[in-house]
Homo-oligomer: A and B are copies of this chain.
Amino acid sequence: MVPETKIPAYVRDVKYYETDRMGIVHHSNYIRWFEEARIDYFGKVGTPYVKMEEEGFVAPVLSVECNFRSMTRFGDRVAIVLTLTECTGVRFGFSYRVIDCTTGALRASGKSEHCFIDGKGMPINFKKMGKKYFDLFSSLVGVETMFEP
A residues sitting closer than 8 Å to B (CB atoms) are: 15-17, 19-24, 26-29, 31-32, 35-36, 39, 48-50, 53, 58, 60-68, 71, 73-75, 121
Q: List 21 A-B contacts (CB under 8 A).
A: A15-B39, A16-B26, A16-B39, A17-B20, A17-B32, A17-B35, A19-B20, A21-B74, A22-B58, A28-B29, A28-B32, A28-B35, A50-B74, A60-B68, A60-B71, A61-B68, A63-B66, A63-B67, A64-B65, A65-B65, A65-B66
Please indicate the chain B residues that have their CB under 8 angstroms from the CB of A53 in the complex. 74
Q: Which residues of B contact A21 (CB under 8 A)?
A: 16, 19-21, 23-24, 73-74
A31: contacting residue among B28, B58, B121, CB under 8 A:
B28
Decide: B19 and A64 in contact? CB cutoff 8 A: no
A contacts with B: majority SS: mixed
C-alpha spacing A23/B66, complex, angstroms: 25
